A = this chain, B = another copy of it.
């Protein structure tokens, strides 16, 4: 599952095969099919695990008790870490880019994950604006969609244009949110 997650972020669902994972682990293809009958099952398990992980993180006091600004910094740091880890891209972006050629259950997992990320970001933005430490116009939901879509796109952009572009985008977001 670790390898599958890495490969999803690196090459996308259509870009990796059981053979990649098997050879890396030193086992045979069939060994993976034993645990995950179909490729869809493997990918869905990876997404489910990520969803559980995100829920755990955001409910843990180490994130929950942070200030809104610190929460946002934590959120951006997830994506910075992806970028630093061999230019990985976020799972949501990778899967949505090839959304029309992935299995149905995987589409549903992708949608659910995206909604959860968005919901957390929306609440955090609202919390920050209510507390007067973050500034933006309009609905928190829309600003959350803007920011999430942007970091998702910026990770992809950084592959062609370099890490600096990603950092520039994050800094611009922080500048835009200044009170």
Residues on A lying within 8 angstroms of B by beta carbon are: 10-12, 14-15, 87, 89, 92-94, 96-101, 107, 110-111, 114-115, 118, 136-139, 141-143, 145-146, 148-154, 156-157, 159-161, 165, 168-169, 171-173, 175-176, 178
* Bound-complex Cα distance A143 to B101 (A): 32
| This protein's copies in its complex | 2
Q: Are A96 and B172 in contact (CB under 8 A)?
A: no
Given contacts A12-B14, A114-B157, A145-B169, contact A93 B97 (CB under 8 A): yes
The answer, among B111, B146, B176, for a CB contact under 8 Å with A137, is B176
On whether the beta carbons of B101 and A15 are closer than 8 Å, the reply is: yes
- CB pair A149–B146 under 8 Å, yes or no, is no
> Contacts of A111 on B, CB cut-off 8 Å?
160-161
Contact (Cβ within 8 A) B153 A168? no
Q: Which residues of B contact A107 (CB under 8 A)?
A: 160
Q: Are B160 and A96 in contact (CB under 8 A)?
A: yes
Asked if B153 and A93 sit within 8 Å, CB to CB, the answer is yes
Q: Give the CA-CA distance A114 to B158 in the complex, in Å.
A: 11
A94 touches which of B89, B97, B115, B178 (Cβ 8 Å) = B97
Please, which residue of chain B has its CB at the minimum distance from the CB of A157? B149
Contact B154 A169 (CB under 8 A): no
